Amino acid sequence: MKITLEDVKQNEEVKQLILAAKQQLDALGYTEHGDRHLSIVSQRAGEILRTLGYDEDRIRLAEIAGYMHDLGNSINRIDHAHTGAIIAGNILKDMGMDIKERTEIMMAIGNHDESSGTAVSDISAAIILADKSDAHRSRVCKTNISLFDKHDRVNYAVTDAKLRIDKEDKKIVLDLTIDTKMCPVLDYFEIFMDRTMMSKYAAKYLGLWFEVIINDTNLL
């Protein structure tokens, strides 16, 4: 049975787990990990594989994995990639997805966090690139700037973020606009260097070169 992204979005367990994850991360002071972030990661992951010419089933699985990748935050931020993979696998099993497709999604979710994962498949590489490229001020949940930590400040400084895939030149470009009055460009790399290197390896897995452009300057 082919489970679609829309099937997953309408699943009541998924909806409740997303709400629980949001509640926990809000309490911990994290940036937004709710429907906005999940939808962006899902869309970008699918678009990466679509642009590179992958078939519709791989694209469908990437979109589902992207939408479900942060469900583990409903349990704990620590090891959320691993617990999330198991949660997603159980939900998809109950929905009727076959073991081969479930395994692909679990593998991608289980490897999306920079503390323990790496690109191990086309789907996991797409999830990593989509997830790590979502830096933007709309992710900052705090309304009082005086309470911002460094992560809040860096995300808030990003006023525009585009992920562009150039199939012809075999490269993927993260193009950011950063308000340097909010934070210097070097702060972005201080916070996101591990994610940047993970993205670079994920791009390499897909046969692409990864570049970062900040304020029209190529920095990587």
Which residues in 83-93 are b (16+ Cβ under 10 Å) and which e?
Answer: bbbebbbebbe
Rounded to an integer, what distance in angstroms lies between the CA atom of residue 195 and that of residue 103? Answer: 24
pLDDT of residue 118: 96
Kindly report, residue by residue over 47-69, the tens digit of the pLDDT. Answer: 999 999 999 999 999 999 999 99
Report the relative pairing of strands 158-166 and 209-214 from DSSP bridges: unpaired
Query: What is the value of pTM for the model shown?
Result: 0.93
Using the structure block, give the residue that is written with the tokens 């920095």. 219
Q: Are 92 and 102 in contact (CB under 8 A)?
A: yes
Residue type, 167: K
Using the structure block, give the residue that is written with the tokens 């049975």. 1
Kindly report, residue by residue over 135-192, the tens digit of the pLDDT. Answer: 888 777 777 777 787 888 888 888 888 999 998 899 999 999 999 888 888 888 888 8
Strand partners of residue 209:
171
Rounded to an integer, what distance in angstroms lies between the CA atom of residue 219 and that of residue 211? Answer: 7
